Structure 1
Amino acid sequence: MASSAGLRELQRDLENKANDLSKLQKDISKNHQIRKKYTIQLGENELVLKELDLLNEDANVYKLIGPVLVKQDMAEANANVKKRIEYISAELLL
């Protein structure tokens, strides 16, 4: 009888460890998706910064806010993109 109780205890322990492993796999998958999203956003923002650098200082720059394009100052656009790149880079380091 003691052997049967020991087997049940081992089975419960194994089930608990399997559940813990499943939770860890879900966390890893979630973190991977978040990192992937930030990496894509970083690439997009770096591309925008390169495009802004190609423009003349007097060029018109527009920012999409909802369904509307709003004219934006070139310096402000550059600053916003650089700030976004800093933020995303910091998030990727975590």
Structure 2
Amino acid sequence: MYARGMSQRDISSTIEEIYGFFVSHEMVSDITDAVLRELDEWQNRPLSNCYSLVFVDCLYTTIRNDYETKNYAIYTILGYTIEERKSFLVCG
């Protein structure tokens, strides 16, 4: 919801409408701040030098940004290392 341009108060009221419980806009802010820190760590992590398999998928969605809406491509790339460990390489 945050990525779609909803304010923290809008998210709070939407959660209450859909799920029937109250979440304060301050809690939405705290959760967003925590997720953004983790996202930054994830985006800056080291990647493997070699992936034996790579899967690519794309979803188009409309996102509001600075009071205008645009269609964006959201890519997801999943890679499998030679040791058969999977890792999301790109989301966004």
TM-score range, shorter chain: 0.3 to 0.5
TM-score (norm 1): 0.34
TM-score (norm 2): 0.34
Which protein is richer in helix relative to its size?
Answer: 1
Instruction: Choose between structure 1 and 2 for higher RCO, CA contacts under 8 A separated by at least 6 residues.
Output: 1
- Bigger radius of gyration: 1
